[in-house]
């Protein structure tokens, strides 16, 4: 424990002739910080990631489509 700590005088408020401590300022929550960060990052990276995803889906679907065409030719 830090027994030398003294609250600064700026944190004191007077209301109705009573001395009250000001409520401490709450730090921003982790959810708020992460949503702010992701909002700026997502705008920047969304188009690149979406295009890479489309390429991966196309490359993955190509052998399946080729197999279906080959099976259709065999059935004739």
Please indicate, yes or no, whether the overall pTM of this predicted structure exceeds 0.75: no
Tell me, what DSSP letter sits at residue 1?
-
Domain range for residue 64? 28-75
67 part of a folded domain: yes
The per-residue pLDDT string of the chain (76 residues; one tens digit each, 9 = 90 and over) reads 555 666 555 545 555 555 556 666 777 777 777 777 777 777 777 888 889 999 999 999 999 999 999 999 998 8
Residue 20 within any structural domain of the chain: no
For the chain, the maximum distance between any two Cα atoms, rounded to a whole number of angstroms, is 97
Domain count, the chain: 1
Give a yes or no: residue 63 inside a domain: yes
Structure tokens at 38: 């992701």
Does residue 54 belong to any structural domain of this protein? yes
* Rounded distance between C-alpha atoms, residue 38 and residue 61, angstroms: 31
Cβ 13 vs Cβ 20: under 8 Å: yes
For residue 14, is it within any domain? no
Cα 74 to Cα 76: distance, rounded to the nearest angstrom? 5
């Amino acid at each position: 424990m830090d027994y030398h700590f003294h609250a600064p005088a700026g944190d004191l408020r007077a209301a109705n002739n009573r001395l009250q401590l000001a409520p401490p300022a709450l730090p921003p929550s982790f959810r708020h910080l992460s949503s702010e960060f992701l909002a700026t990052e997502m705008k920047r990276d969304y188009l690149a990631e979406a295009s890479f995803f489309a390429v991966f889906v196309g490359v993955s679907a190509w052998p399946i489509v080729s197999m279906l065409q080959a099976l259709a030719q065999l059935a004739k």
